[in-house]
Amino acid sequence: MTTIPAYHPVSAPDYLPQKQLRELQSQRLQRMVKRAYENVELYRTRMTEKGVTPDDIRTIDDIVKLPFTMKNDLRDTYPYGLFASPLNEVVRLHASSGTTGKPIVVGYTKEDVDVWDEVVARCLVGYGVTDADIVQVAYGYGLFTGGLGLHGGASKLGCTVVPISGGNTERQLMLMRDFHVTCVGCTPSYFVHIIDKALQMGINMRDFPIKFGAFGAEPWSEEVRHYIEEQAGIKAFNIYGLSEICGPGVGAECCFQDGMHIFEDHFYPEIIDPATGEALPDGTEGELVLSTLSKDAMPMLRYRTRDITTIDVEPCACGRTIRRIRPIRRRSDDMLIIRGVNVFPSQIETGILRVDGASPHFQIVLDKGPDGLDRIEVRVEATPDAVDDTVASVEQFQKKIQHSISQIIGLSVKVTLVQPYTIGRSEGKMNRVVDNRNK
Ligand code: ADP
Ligand code: ZN
């Protein structure tokens, strides 16, 4: 049976009566749109093109009048073009991979960081975490939002934070045991790896005092949840977010583990038809569109996440009034999430073609290694100009391409040269990716 965790004041907005929530959303949207229109050229131009002014936005339902924002808009305005605050008010920058070499940059004011901490704290409260918990943050720290995001929320709640960051799995296990860690945050695939490492070392993670896992940044299945919960004797919770909106903490599961509540007093969710852009009613599957309602440094109006999901029509058994989305398993673009890192096939193509004599015919094959981590192999057709018949020349060429791709995506890859004309040609959209990870 699921026990509902004790109430915590930080989560008060999760329970606002519908009418009050809508009023708050309407007020905040009006302010956000005005701020974006007055301070960000891209928003002003787009709204003018659509014939909309801030005066047309009176209630939250008017949101559909606004133009969409896309990942490319962040790239095109790199680095600060979407900022609505002067840089002296911006206290933090983060970045995530864009579709080409340049990352996309996001900024936060002091107040934005406070909101971020608050929503992540609300995620943790939903799981049942309290200030008595010891939270090991095994998401990467740095420009990636995962580490500092979870760190801020756990600190806000008053937890004891262990900021170990990702990697060094033996040390992760040692600290979990020695520090009596009760909550771990990392990507679900990294936690599966930690479990496997423990098994190899003859450690039974069920003997550890860990109770909660905050797992996100990539899609995962109920089967993985079951595996983690059985092997480690913990409850595994989903956490969702994206850098463009704030990072982790846009939404999270509650103790019922049945869909993720979106903190819609700060991030307003809509579902649209990805082909036409038409708004769809709750209960229909489509692309999730999010608008920030309080983000000062970088307002996001109707950001197209490319994540495919459904907004639940049923209220949740936990009593929260904020709506839930179903777990995200698919995207409407070709972005891949490999070990929690966003990778576009176009980046791999760029990496290959930067090497003299490389051919543009390639295929990406993804699978899981014996350690449970994602593996990526890029098969590239050899060209007679680039290699001769010797093993050394093939190996050297593979290494060059490998290095060039890794420079762009920040992950190590295996590159294999294959015979010319062995990779399928297509007249329409090429399917360059073979994903064997969930087989
Ligand atoms: P993050 O720091 O959360 O990885 P990014 O901006 O790098 O942020 O990537 C965001 C994307 O990661 C989302 O649009 C979504 O596709 C994916 N993602 C994040 N959390 C989850 C989750 N819990 N389930 C499925 N996909 C997720
Ligand atoms: Zn709930």
Give the rounded distance of the alpha carbon of 106 from its chain centre.
14
pLDDT in tens, 212-224: 999 999 888 898 8
- Mean pLDDT over 53-66 rounds to 98
Nearest CA to ligand 1 atom 13: 242
Least confident of 15-19, 103-107, 296-300, 370-374: 370-374
Nearest CA to ligand 1 atom 12: 217
- In this structure, the strands spanning 341-343 and 336-338 are antiparallel
- Note the pLDDT of residue 426: 57
Q: What separation in angstroms does the CA of 148 have from each of 154, 186, 248, 352?
A: 10, 12, 9, 33
Which ligand is closest in space to the CA of residue 148?
1
Q: What is the pLDDT confidence band of residue 101, given thresholds at 50, 70 and 90?
A: low
Tell me the percentage of the chain whose pLDDT exceeds 70.
97
pLDDT in tens, 333-362: 888 999 888 898 888 988 998 998 888 889
Distance CA 13, CA 21 (A): 8
420 or 144: which carries more pLDDT confidence? 144
Nearest CA to ligand 1 atom 25: 219
Is the pLDDT at 414 greater than 80? The verdict is: yes
Which ligand is closest in space to the CA of residue 144?
1
Q: How high is the mean pLDDT of the chain?
A: 94
Give the Cβ contact number of residue 19 at 10 Å: 8
303 or 330: which carries more pLDDT confidence? 303
**Please, which residues bridge with residue 109 across strands?**
90
Ligand 1 atom showing the smallest separation from residue 327 Cα: 24
pLDDT in tens, 120-149: 999 999 999 999 999 999 999 999 999 999
Instruction: Ligand 1: list residues with CB < 6 Å.
Output: 96, 144-146, 216-219, 238-243, 247-248, 305, 307, 328, 331, 337, 340, 342
Ligand 1 atom showing the smallest separation from residue 144 Cα: 2
- Note the pLDDT of residue 100: 56
- Note the pLDDT of residue 99: 54
Which residues line ion ligand 2, judged by CB < 5 Å? 254, 316, 318, 320
Domains defined along the chain, listed by start: 9-16+105-331 (3.40.50.12780), 336-435 (3.30.300.30)
- Note the pLDDT of residue 430: 58
Distance CA 356, CA 416 (A): 16
Distance CA 230, CA 232 (A): 6
Distance CA 235, CA 218 (A): 18
Nearest CA to ligand 1 atom 7: 96
CB 388 within 8 A of CB 344: no
Q: What is the pLDDT confidence band of residue 427, given thresholds at 50, 70 and 90?
A: low
Q: What is the pLDDT confidence band of residue 171, given thresholds at 50, 70 and 90?
A: very high
